């Protein structure tokens, strides 16, 4: 990775002005009163039984095929037992170099499929040196190949391409924003939902680094269609990409009605044990050990609800609007609520160039940013996260010692 960073000429910079502390509370919420640490308290250990992010599945089995070659290769997942005649299509765009879904996002993929969706996982990078201008076009080509495969045999689950959504993490989050803006010129269906998660275009979380040293070009986000429901998500302790690109997409998506877009900060919580630190790798989800409250109450819940809103006109209060259901992150075993997500509504006027990001915590739960008495309403203030290699992602994020985050993938 060091060689790659050298070749790409990336410049890691340190953020200057501290932002809010992840333990700041919203007035009137369960977090409004300070909570003393309780090492005996455990975060949620089981997925909710129902609702967005929950384990109420319409299908018992996931079937997978691969297709395409090189950077156009894809993994295609369809629901089975029972197999529906047709299903909405979700494109899940991986982070830089995280091209094997079995070692990165398979838990999230299978969750989406068992809920009744077709999921396309485009490789889009044949190697780490794939030109970044090819990322979005490669994803679009993989989409076309995968749809041709399904439509060639009517006994297969048929794609409801009019119900199309995109979600992506890190470099894939940045590409998600670009795909949503360039859908028409790339020949994709109009995305009814898009959720860039921790989008980034360089290694290093400072605003200047993400703005000036980006490897991935920025699309014209004003072209994201008004029919799109948009969530831009970042973590408060992300030492890899920070919040700049999430805010950039959110602020640039001027064509999306304010009521249909939110900017969301996923917040760390150190009340119990293990500490729940919202680092760059938290969206990764293996089948069992790699899943936790960040998935069930955070990323999975948000995207489930966003697609339910876009496809089925339900669960809007879990997806948008700064509601309690949207912000809620579950409870510890002692009854205390985990730190809720911070939501910025779509009518907020934000300039990403003026928002400097400082991580709330390091990966061991040691505070980095100075705490404030009350979390600001808008914009949500980021913290820093780092991403490890796919196989290291979640199980090593809580108690391991510090590592050099400049070597992380994004």
d(C-alpha 88, C-alpha 160), whole Å:
5
Is there a contact between 371 and 24 (Cβ–Cβ < 8 Å)?
A: yes
For residue 190, pLDDT over 90 is answered with yes
- For 312-328, the pLDDT digits (tens) are 999 999 999 999 999 99
Question: In this structure, how many other beta carbons lie within 10 angstroms of the beta carbon of residue 208?
Answer: 17
pLDDT, residue 208, reads 93
- For 193-238, the pLDDT digits (tens) are 999 999 999 999 999 999 998 899 999 999 999 999 999 999 999 9
d(C-alpha 279, C-alpha 47), whole Å:
20
Is there a contact between 235 and 270 (Cβ–Cβ < 8 Å)?
A: no
Average pLDDT, integer, range 42-53: 97
- For 78-110, the pLDDT digits (tens) are 999 999 999 999 999 999 999 999 999 999 999
Mean pLDDT of the residues in the chain: 86
- Which residue segments constitute the domains of the chain, with CATH numbers given? 2-407 (3.40.50.1820)
pLDDT, residue 214, reads 87
d(C-alpha 89, C-alpha 92), whole Å:
10
- For 148-178, the pLDDT digits (tens) are 999 999 999 999 999 999 999 999 999 999 9
d(C-alpha 119, C-alpha 121), whole Å:
7
d(C-alpha 274, C-alpha 116), whole Å:
33
What spatial distance separates the first Cα and last Cα of the chain, rounded to whole Å? 11
Question: Which band of pLDDT confidence, cut at 50, 70 and 90, is reported for residue 369?
Answer: low
Cβ burial of 174 (10 Å; 0-12, 13-18, 19+) is buried
Tokens encoding 359: 């991580």
- For 242-261, the pLDDT digits (tens) are 999 999 999 999 999 999 99
d(C-alpha 196, C-alpha 235), whole Å:
12
Question: Which band of pLDDT confidence, cut at 50, 70 and 90, is reported for residue 36?
Answer: confident
Question: Which band of pLDDT confidence, cut at 50, 70 and 90, is reported for residue 303?
Answer: very high
């Amino acid at each position: 990775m060091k060689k790659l960073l050298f070749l790409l000429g990336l410049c890691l910079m340190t953020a200057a002005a501290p932002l809010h502390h992840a333990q700041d509370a919203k007035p009137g919420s369960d977090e409004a009163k300070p909570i003393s640490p309780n090492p005996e308290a455990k975060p949620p250990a089981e997925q909710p039984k129902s609702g967005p992010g929950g384990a109420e599945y319409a299908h018992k089995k996931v079937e997978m095929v691969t297709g395409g070659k090189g950077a156009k290769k894809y993994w295609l997942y369809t629901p089975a037992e029972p197999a529906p005649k047709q299903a909405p299509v979700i494109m899940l765009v991986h982070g830089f170099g995280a091209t094997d879904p079995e070692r990165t996002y398979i838990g999230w993929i299978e969750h989406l499929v068992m809920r009744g969706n077709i999921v396309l996982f485009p490789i889009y990078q044949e190697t780490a040196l794939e030109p970044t201008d090819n990322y979005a076009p490669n994803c679009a080509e993989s989409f076309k190949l995968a749809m041709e495969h399904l439509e060639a045999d009517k006994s297969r689950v048929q794609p409801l391409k009019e119900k199309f959504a995109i979600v992506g993490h890190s470099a894939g989050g940045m590409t998600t924003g670009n795909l949503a803006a360039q859908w028409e010129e790339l020949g994709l269906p109009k995305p009814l939902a898009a959720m860039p998660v921790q989008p980034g275009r360089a290694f290093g979380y400072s605003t200047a680094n993400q703005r000036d040293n980006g490897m991935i070009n920025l699309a014209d986000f004003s072209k994201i269609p008004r029919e799109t429901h948009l969530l831009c998500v970042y973590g408060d302790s992300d030492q890899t990409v920070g919040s700049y690109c999430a805010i950039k997409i959110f602020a640039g998506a001027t064509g999306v009605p304010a009521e249909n877009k939110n900017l969301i900060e996923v917040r760390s919580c150190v009340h119990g044990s293990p500490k729940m630190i919202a680092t760059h790798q938290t969206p990764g989800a293996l089948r069992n050990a790699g899943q936790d409250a960040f998935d069930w109450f955070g990323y999975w819940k948000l995207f489930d609800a966003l697609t339910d809103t876009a496809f089925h006109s339900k669960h809007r209060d879990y997806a948008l609007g700064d509601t309690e259901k949207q912000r809620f992150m579950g409870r510890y075993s002692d009854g205390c609520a985990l730190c809720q997500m911070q939501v910025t509504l779509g009518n907020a006027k934000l300039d990403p160039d003026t928002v400097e990001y400082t991580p709330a915590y390091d990966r061991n739960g040691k505070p980095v940013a100075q705490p404030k008495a009350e979390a600001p309403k808008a914009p949500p203030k980021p913290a820093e996260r780092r991403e490890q290699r796919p196989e290291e992602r979640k199980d090593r994020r809580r108690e391991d010692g510090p590592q050099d985050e400049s070597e992380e993938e994004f």
